[in-house]
Amino acid sequence: MFVLVTTVFFLMRSTGDPITAALGGRLPAAELAERVREAGYDRPLLVQYAEYLGDLVRLDFGTTLSDRRPVLEVLTTFGAATLELAFYALIVAFVVGVPLGRFAAYARDRWPDAVLRVFAIFCYATPVFFAGMLLKLVFASGLGWLPVAGRASTRSEILIQTSVENPTNIYLVDAVRTGNGEVISDVLQHAVLPAIALGLLTAGVFLRLVRTNVIGTLGMGYVEAARSRGVSERRLLRKHAYRPALIPIVTVMGLQIALLLSGAVLTETTFEWKGLGFQLVQYLQARDFVAVQGMVVLLAVIVAVTNFVVDVIAALIDPRVRY
């Protein structure tokens, strides 16, 4: 995490100070220099770096240059939306990838297996924004079954904001707190297409992983012993090979969190899902490097912490793994 924070800081400073990058050419030179001096960006870089580390320890990420909001407030507000989208995408990945991977292993080297392997390649090879646009074209614009963009309709957002005290910014939780079935249904409908577009990216990885591990487990000695006793192939798959094959998914999940967060930037932009990814693009266009720096650091820390936690969980559930 220290290396990530350091790298992000010096990369952001490589183009100059944030105020000149954001406001250069729009303010008189004297006023621009005064703002740079007031913000402390005229001091030596190492002094700024030491102060930045001290602020991070106090969870002070600074203030955005474009809209003058505390970066921590931006992170908590829009981070909840990204967390919600990642949760939906993981559900799609598990529901699609794990059962299909199990079936592909059962139908090994037959035509269903070949079709599912090609499907998995399409899932993780198709750009997220392209999959999102296709889904919008077919199910929103063409068939009219689902909303085109957003996290909820304007009416639902107003109801959530006016009837929920201390909202979590996780719309499904807030919709449930309203007790209004129409609002819950509206929030879920808006989540379907973004969740599928982002979830299929990970579902393809899960499908291939489960298939490979189930096939490998079916060749283990204890499975062969059970087969020699007359246990059916279906029972071997369900009772002996399936659960051990799921253990590697826990390990890979840490890497998939990074994939989901990177994919969330494109998914949120495609569907105007106002999360960290969507807001990151807005701040990049505004050249607000203070906000961008805070967001990148948060995403990097989430990935690092998630991988550490996943490694610990893998060691706990699999006795063969010890650190």
pLDDT digits (tens, 9 = 90+) for 101-134: 888 887 888 888 889 889 988 888 888 888 888 8
- Quote the percentage of the chain above a pLDDT of 70: 84
Q: For each of the domains in the chain, give its residue range(s) and CATH number, in order of start.
A: 1-58 (no CATH), 71-317 (1.10.3720.10)
Amino acid 24: pLDDT: 61
Q: Dump the DSSP string for 284-306.
A: HHTT-HHHHHHHHHHHHHHHHHH
Residue 320: predicted pLDDT: 62
Reported as a pLDDT band with limits 50, 70 and 90, residue 303 is confident
For the cut 80, the answer to whether the pLDDT of residue 88 exceeds it is yes
Dist. CA 273–CA 155, nearest whole Å: 16
pLDDT score for 275: 83
Taken in order 222, 318, 199, 213, is the CA torsion positive or negative?
Answer: negative
What region does 150 belong to: left with phi over 0, alpha with psi -120 to 50, or beta? left
Tokens of 152: 């909820």
Residue 59: φ, ψ to 5°: 60, 35
33: which DSSP letter? H
Element (H, E) at 192: helix 181-218
pLDDT reported for residue 97: 86
Which pLDDT tens digit goes with each residue over 17-53?
667 766 666 667 777 777 777 777 777 888 888 888 8
Per-residue pLDDT, 17:
67
Render pLDDT for 259-293 as a digit per residue (tens, 0 to 9).
677 667 778 888 888 888 888 888 877 777 778 88
DSSP state of 320: T
Per-residue model confidence (pLDDT) at position 45: 80
| Residue 216 reports pLDDT greater than 80 | no
What 3-state DSSP class applies to 110? coil
pLDDT at residue number 25: 63
Q: Specify whether the CB–CB gap between 198 and 260 falls below 8 A.
A: yes
| Between 22 and 153, the higher pLDDT residue | 153
Q: Which of 59-63, 201-205, 230-234, 244-248 has the highest mean pLDDT?
A: 201-205
At residue 155 the predicted structure's pLDDT band, cuts being 50, 70 and 90, is confident
**pLDDT value, residue 76:** 82
Residue in the structure block whose two tokens are 């309709």: 153
- Ranges 173-187, 233-247, 285-299: which has the least confidence: 233-247
- Statement: residue 205 has pLDDT above 80: yes
Closest by Cα among 239, 255, 245 to 308 = 255
Three-point CA angle 204, 207, 210, nearest 5°: 145
The mean pLDDT value for 185-212 works out to 87
Three-state DSSP class for residue 70: strand
Query: What CA–CA distance (Å, rounded) separates 262 from 278?
Result: 11
Identify the residue with better confidence: 66 or 273: 273
Average pLDDT of the segment spanning 147-166: 81
DSSP state of 59: T
Task: Report the alpha-carbon distance of residue 241 to residue 222 in Å, rounded.
Answer: 10
Query: What pLDDT is recorded for position 23?
Result: 64
